A and B are shown apart, each in its own frame.
Chain A
Amino acid sequence: MDKIKTNILTILLWCLLGQAGLSQQAGLVYQGIEENRTVNNEKNCIEITTRVQGLELDDNHLIRLKDMTITDDSGNTLAHLEETYYLPIYHYSNNSQKVLRLEAPSRKARQISVKGTIEYFTISEDLHSKRNFTDIQQQYHKNLLAGNDATMVLIDLEGLSRLKKEDEAGYSKKVRQLHKNAGVGTTLEHAKRYLDNALADYGLWHGEATKQLHLYREDPNNNILDVKVYKNNESQSGGASFGSNTFSYSLKEGLTPEMELQFIVKNDSAIKKIPFTLTVNLP
C-alpha cells in the first residue's frame, strides 16, 4: 500500500510540475537586435525584435506596447523612433512580433533596459468593447457610445434638412434636443454651427441618402478603434471619411433594417495591463 501511495504522490507531483512548466507567463521575450551606426545624416538606431508570449492573439484579442522607457547602463534614456508600418507596436494588432526602433546608445554602453506595459485588449460585447446596433434607422439622434467615454450620434440629415426648410422653430428646438440629450456640440452654439454646416454640405451632395451614414463624433481619448457596417457578416464599407467632429460612412447598398452598425471601443474593463522588463546585451 505504501508503495502505491508513493507512486500516486510521485505522479501527482510530476503533473503539477509539468503544468507549471507548460504555462507560459505572459510577457515580452527578446529575439534579436540590429544596430545601425553611420557617419551620414541618418540617425544611428537599434531595432530590438521581440515576441509577446503567453497571450492568446486573434481578431478579438489584440496587443500593443505602451508607456515604455528605455535606458542604457549609463542611465541615458534612449528615444523611440517611428514604428515600422508593417509591424505596429503602439497600435493594437494581433501580431505577436514587436520591433522596437530606438536611437542607438553610445559605443560605451553594454546593456539596455526596456520597461513598459503590454496592453491586452479583448473585443467582446460582454466587456462593452464591441457595440452592435441593428435596425440602424431607429438609432438616430442618441449617443450610441454612452458609457464608453465617447460620443457617436447618428444624424438624420435628410429629416433635419426637411425640418429646417419647413419649420425653422421646430429645427431650432431639435438642435437644442440634440445638444442636451445626445451630446452634439460642446456648447449649444457649437451644435448649431456644426449642424448648419453639415446640412449645407448635405445640400450640395447629390448621392443617395440611404447609402451614407453621418455621425457626430467626440472622442478626446481616442477610444473608438473601428466603425463598420455589416449585412449577413459581410462588410458594407464603401469608404469612410473623418472630420474634426464628423465621421461619414459610405455603404455599398442602401440602408436596410437587417444591417448592423458595429463599434470597436476601448475601455478599462476590456484591457489587461501586463508590465514587462527586458534587459538586452548590446552586440
Chain B
Amino acid sequence: MKSFIRSKILVVFFVLLCTKVFSQDFNLFLQHIEEVRLDGTTQRSTSDSISKITFTTMVNGIKLDWDHLIKVKDVEVVDGQGNPLRMVKDMFYKNEYSDSKKIDFPVEAPTRQTTRINTFKGRLLYFTPTEENKGKVIIRDFLGNKKNLFKDIDQEIELTLVKDHELIDIQKEFQKQVDEEVEKRKKEVGEISKDEQREIEYTRRLFDEMLGLTDNGWAYTLTFRSNKKINEAYFSFEIFNAEGRPISTGYSSVGDLYQYHLTDAPAEGCYIQVIREVDAAVQELKFEFNDVVLP
C-alpha cells in the first residue's frame, strides 16, 4: 500500500469544478448527488432515520475486472460551514472489493442552510492480486497432502485437508463433547426441557450433516481445517478442476472446519485458488473534490 498510482482526478460537475492531479490514469468523476432529508414518520422512514446525502462517483482510467478490484479506504467530508460529515454505514452500506466503476459515498446530510461542501476527499484501495505479488495463491497437488498447505506461502496461516476417516473421529469427539455438556446441564437443572432436548438433537444433526456423515445432499465435498476464518482471511477461496473450471459452489462451517461443496469429484490436477488482500497487491488512490455545490 506504500506505492501510489499517479492519478489525476477530474471533477466534472455542473456548477463549480475542481481538479487535483495525482496520476495520469486514474480519474474519479462526481456523477450524481442525491440528498434525502427526513423528520417524523413517513412511508419510508421512522423518527430515528438519518438524513443523508449520497455522492455517486465513477472510476475511470484504470482497469476493473475480477483481477482488478476497488473499494473505499477512507473518506473525509467537510461542509461549507466547516462541519465534518461522517459516513452513514447503515444496513444498505456495503464496502467490499468490486469491479464496478460506480462507488457511492453516503454521508450524513449537512444543515439545511449549507449550500456547499468544502472538501470531499479520501482514498480508494485498488486490489490487483497476482501470483507474483502473492495476492493470488495457487495450491496444486493438495489431495494427498496431509501437511499445512500454506507452509511455504504464509507462516501465519495453517490450512490442512481433513480426510474422511478423520471426520469420523472428529464426529465422535464432538458427540462426546455434547454428551458431557448434556450431563453437566442435567446436574444443573435436574431435567432438561423438551425445547432444550430438541436444540441438542438439532445441533448433533447439524454437525453430522455439515460434515457429510449423513446424506447431506452434496455429492462431492472436501473438508479443510483452518486457523483463520476463511470468509475473513481471504477475498475468495475456490477449488478448480484440472481444466481451470471452478468446481466449488460454497461451504458449510463448524468450528475451524470448512466443508466445500463441489459439483465434480475432486480429481488429479485440481487446485485451490486463494485470493487474499496482501500489501503488495493493494495500492492507494487518492481523490479530492472541492467546493461542491449542493442541489
Contact = CB atoms under 8 A, between A and B. Distances in A.
A60 interface: no
At the interface, is chain B mostly helix, strand, loop or mixed? loop
A93 to B, nearest CB: 16
Interface in B246-295: 294-295
Interface string A245-281: 0000000000000000000000000000000000001
B32 A107 contact: no
B34 A38 contact: yes
Contacts of A87: 43
B41 A31 contact: yes
A33 B44 CA distance: 10
A32 B45 contact: yes
Contacts of B39: 32-33, 281, 283
Q: Which of B39, B51, B115 has the most CB of A within 10 A?
A: B39
Contacts of B43: 34, 47, 49, 87, 99
A35 interface: yes
Contacts of A32: 38-42, 45, 47
B40 A49 contact: yes
B14 interface: yes
Given A110-B112, A282-B112, A49 B42 contact: yes
Nearest to B39: A283
A37 B294 CA distance: 9
Contact of B37 (A31, A37, A49, A108): A37
A283 B114 CA distance: 12
A94 interface: no
A14 interface: no
Given A32-B45, A107-B115, A283-B112, A38 B295 contact: yes
Contacts of A35: 35-38
Given A39-B14, A107-B294, A283-B38, A34 B44 contact: yes
Contacts of B114: 107
B295 A34 contact: no
Interface of A: 30-40, 44, 47, 49, 87, 99, 107-110, 281-283
A38 B113 contact: no
B35 A36 contact: yes
B112 A107 contact: yes
A280 B295 CA distance: 21
B33 A30 contact: no
Given A40-B32, A107-B113, A107-B115, A31 B295 contact: no
B112 A31 contact: no
Contact of B295 (A33, A39, A108, A283): A39
A281 B41 CA distance: 14
Nearest to B36: A36
Nearest to A97: B43
B283 to A, nearest CB: 30
A39 B34 CA distance: 7
Interface string B39-57: 1111111010001000000
A33 B34 CA distance: 16
A107 B39 CA distance: 16
Given A34-B44, A35-B36, 14 more contacts: A32-B38, A32-B47, A33-B37, A33-B39, A34-B42, A37-B34, A39-B34, A40-B32, A49-B42, A49-B43, A107-B114, A107-B294, A108-B113, A282-B37
A44 B295 CA distance: 8
A16 to B, nearest CB: 33
Contacts of A38: 32-35, 295
3 closest pairs, A vs B, by CB?
A: A32-B40, A283-B39, A32-B42
A143 to B, nearest CB: 44
A281 B112 CA distance: 11
Contacts of A281: 39
A31 B44 CA distance: 12
Contacts of B113: 107-108
Contacts of B37: 33-35, 37, 282-283
Q: Tell me which of A47, A108, A283 has the highest count of chain B C-beta atoms within 10 A of its own C-beta.
A: A283
Nearest to B109: A283
Contacts of B295: 37-39, 44
Nearest to A38: B34
B78 to A, nearest CB: 18
